[in-house]
Amino acid sequence: SALGCVVADMRHDRVQTVNQLLDDLDCPALEAEMRAVADETEAVLGRAGVGFERIERSFELDMLYLGQTHTV
């Protein structure tokens, strides 16, 4: 309904694929990339022209075993 659109939380999701073995992962570089993606996403929300009481960032990682074709 139109009322639901007005009172619902605004949400914007971003996905970034990183195909890399865990042993070769540069954790500081990954953290920097995640922060950059989050900052870009917040900028998108900022351009929406809506005032926010708070912004919540959530990060999730989908990981696979070597040779696996579906996420765990």
24 token code pair: 């070769």
Is the pLDDT reported for residue 12 higher than 70?
Answer: yes
Q: What are the residue ranges spanned by the domains of the chain?
A: 2-46
Taking the complete model, does pTM exceed 0.85, yes or no? no
* Half-sphere exposure in the Cβ direction for 47 (13 Å, CA): 7
16 neighbors 37 (Cβ within 8 angstroms): yes
Regarding predicted confidence, which is higher, 26 or 50?
A: 26
Q: What DSSP character marks residue 24?
A: G
Distance CA 51, CA 40 (A): 17
Confidence band, pLDDT 50/70/90 cuts, at residue 1:
low
CB atoms closer than 10 angstroms to residue 45: 14
pLDDT, tens digit (0-9, with 9 covering 90-100), for 29-61: 999 999 999 999 889 888 888 888 888 899 999
Is the pLDDT reported for residue 5 higher than 80?
Answer: no
